């Protein structure tokens, strides 16, 4: 982990999940996300202690385990308040909800892992509880009620609202809960003007326009591919074809993450009146209109 100063009061820690830091005074800071597990939390604590700071609060952009994994160890050691938005508050307090939501039922033991389930933390609603110098804005689509944070230094922390070119070029598919809201968020991001934009995964940027277009183009590509596949095919058959088309390898985490994402694309195409479903021989199959 490397601490980088990007404003008078704003820092971030380079990490697989970038961690934001905002100084509310000479001694106290707020974190923006905490990484993927207890070990990440411990490393964050050491960086904070080495700089003579204390953690007053933690802001969760959203409740995915790789963003709140360090919450519990940090909260237990510092008493820091954790702030989250609406449904994200519930998932952060009760992490079993994420694995259950993704699987669509009680998750079997291989799904009850740190990648899909963080440790629980005590949370309060973010509205009306942010310190001076910080403001939040909604970035729906990737997850239920994800938010971004703007600091007084004109730095934007934008969570998982944009995926890096490396991620898109390597994996093609990235988790989306609501395709329409994700596209709306891309439109919203295109209106923002700021000094720096810090995505949770990837490099810091001063211009996100090309990355917005890359994300939008990939979504359009995947929409068209799924539409093409909808020819009396079940979800499992569509999922298999998508993985083979993009040369991806299935595992249990990918099965629930990408499986859920494919369902979201199907829901979007169905709501757009592009496809429909029928039950044939007690199987749900998807067809083009």
- Report the distance separating Cα 52 and Cα 45, nearest Å: 11
- Report the distance separating Cα 82 and Cα 184, nearest Å: 27
- What's residue 188's pLDDT? 98
pTM of the model: 0.96
Q: Which residue has the tokens 């942010």?
A: 130
Report residue 241 as tokens.
């074809």
- Report the distance separating Cα 93 and Cα 113, nearest Å: 16
CA neighbor of 285 nearest in space, from 245, 247, 232: 232
Q: Cα–chain-centroid distance for residue 125?
A: 18
Instruction: Write the CA distances from 198 to 110, 122, 246, integer angstroms.
Output: 32, 26, 28
CB contact burial 141-160 (16+ within 10 A = b; e otherwise):
bbbbbbbbbbbebebbbbbb
Helix (H) or strand (E) holding 18: none
- Report the distance separating Cα 230 and Cα 233, nearest Å: 6
Are 73 and 55 contacting, i.e. CB atoms less than 8 angstroms apart? no
- Report the distance separating Cα 167 and Cα 158, nearest Å: 16
Print pLDDT tens along the chain (289 aa): 899 999 999 999 999 999 999 999 999 999 999 999 999 999 999 999 999 999 999 999 999 999 999 999 999 999 999 999 999 999 999 999 999 999 999 999 999 999 999 999 999 999 999 999 999 999 999 999 999 999 999 999 999 999 999 999 999 999 999 999 999 999 999 999 999 999 999 999 999 999 999 999 999 999 999 999 999 999 999 999 999 999 999 999 999 999 999 999 999 999 999 999 999 999 999 999 9
Write down all domains in the chain, each with its CATH number in brackets. Answer: 2-220 (3.60.15.10), 225-288 (no CATH)
- What's residue 101's pLDDT? 97
**Phi, psi angles (nearest 5°) of residue 231:** -140, 70
- Report the distance separating Cα 289 and Cα 277, nearest Å: 10
- Report the distance separating Cα 261 and Cα 149, nearest Å: 25
3-state secondary structure 165-221: HHHHHHHCCCCCCCHHHHHHHHHHHCCCCCCEEECCCCCCECCCHHHHHHHHHHHHH
CA neighbor of 61 nearest in space, from 201, 173, 258: 201
- What's residue 41's pLDDT? 97
SS3 242: helix
- What's residue 218's pLDDT? 98
């Amino acid at each position: 982990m490397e601490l980088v100063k990007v404003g008078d009061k704003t820092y971030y820690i380079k990490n697989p999940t970038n961690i934001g830091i905002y100084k509310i005074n000479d001694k106290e800071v707020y974190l923006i996300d905490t990484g993927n597990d207890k070990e990440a939390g411990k490393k964050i604590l050491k960086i904070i202690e080495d700089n003579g700071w204390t953690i007053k609060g933690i802001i969760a952009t959203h409740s995915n385990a790789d963003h709140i994994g360090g919450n519990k160890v940090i909260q237990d050691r510092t008493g820091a308040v954790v702030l989250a938005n609406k449904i994200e508050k519930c998932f952060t307090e009760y992490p079993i909800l994420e694995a259950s939501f993704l699987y669509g039922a009680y998750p079997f033991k291989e799904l009850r892992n740190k990648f899909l389930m963080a440790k629980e933390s005590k949370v309060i609603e973010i509205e009306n509880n942010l310190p001076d110098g910080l403001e939040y804005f909604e970035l729906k689509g990737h997850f239920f009620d994800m938010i971004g944070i703007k600091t007084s230094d004109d730095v934007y922390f934008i969570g998982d609202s944009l995926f890096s070119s490396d991620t898109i070029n390597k994996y093609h598919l990235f988790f989306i809960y609501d395709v329409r809201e994700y596209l709306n968020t891309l439109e919203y991001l295109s209106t923002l003007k700021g000094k720096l934009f810090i995505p949770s995964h990837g490099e810091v940027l001063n211009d996100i326009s090309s990355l917005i277009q890359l994300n939008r183009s990939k979504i359009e590509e995947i929409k068209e591919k799924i539409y093409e596949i909808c020819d009396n095919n079940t979800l499992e058959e569509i999922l298999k074809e998508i993985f083979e088309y993009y040369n991806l390898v299935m595992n249990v985490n990918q099965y629930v993450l990408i499986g859920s994402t494919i369902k979201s694309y199907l829901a979007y195409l169905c709501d757009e009146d592009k496809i429909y479903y029928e039950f044939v021989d007690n199987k749900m199959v998807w067809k083009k209109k």
